[in-house]
Amino acid sequence: MPTTLLERRFERMIWRFRLISIVPVLLSLLGSIGCFAIGAIEVLSAFWRLLSHPIGSSSLQAKSIAQMVGGVDYFVIGIALLIFGYGIYELVISDLDPRHEGDDEQHANLLSVSSLESLKHNLTNVIVVALIVSAFKKMIDFEVNNSLELLALCGCVAMLALSAWLIVRSHSETESNQSRSSHKRRWSRPVMRRR
């Protein structure tokens, strides 16, 4: 069915409208830079506190470690924003060509997003890691005064271990599914016969 000139122009305009998604891409990349800067400041100030009071109390050491872990938490959030920005760019706007130029396949696949499902999977893993780091930071300052609080602390540690195990398991299942699908694709190609 032939398309009219008006219809083609309208479809081109709709196709170009996808470029509006550059706004969340740029803002998430800027947010990532901000999180990396805040995390670096947190870690450096905790390190400076430890250097300025080398023989400090155990509470000072615990506060410094908690502050360093908080800095790591900002780094993880920055990575989540980076994955989100790259993922939205690749899904909506265009593939990242420089990612394909390098020889290192591991780094090429690090931020690779092929579908909305893979973007959700990557973000979920990073968010769970951020929650684990946040819980670890809270557990450093947690004081146990009675058996109920000790039980709560043990439950928190068990939940953290379970969530870390689930992340590793989902990652290994994803890799095995990808290797199976690439193996199927390799063997399902039609054989060309020469005449």
* Three state DSSP letters for the chain: CCCCHHHHHHHHHHHHHHHHHHHHHHHHHHHHHHHHHHHHHHHHHHHHHHHHCCCCCHHHHHHHHHHHHHHHHHHHHHHHHHHHHHHHHHHHHCCCHHHHHCCCHHHHHHCCCCCHHHHHHHHHHHHHHHHHHHHHHHHHHCCCCCHHHHHHHHHHHHHHHHHHHHHHHHHHHHHHHHHHHHHHHHHCCCCCCCC
User: Would you state the torsion angle of the CA atoms of residues 82, 67, 128, 80, taken in this order, to the nearest 10 degrees?
Assistant: 0
Q: Cα separation of 41 and 48, whole Å?
A: 10
pLDDT of residue 175: 64
pLDDT of residue 115: 78
pLDDT of residue 100: 60
pLDDT of residue 96: 72
Q: Please state the domain extents for the chain.
A: 5-141, 146-195
pLDDT of residue 191: 47
What's the pTM? 0.69
Q: Cα separation of 85 and 26, whole Å?
A: 7
Closest CA to 26 of 121, 92, 72, 76: 92
Question: What pLDDT, in 10s, does the model give residues 96-138?
Answer: 766 666 655 555 555 677 778 778 877 877 888 788 788 877 7
pLDDT of residue 42: 92
Q: Which amino acid is at 77?
A: I
pLDDT of residue 177: 64
Asked whether the beta carbons of 35 and 78 are under 8 A apart, the reply is: yes
The ranges of the chain with pLDDT < 70 are 1-2, 54, 56, 97-111, 171, 174-195
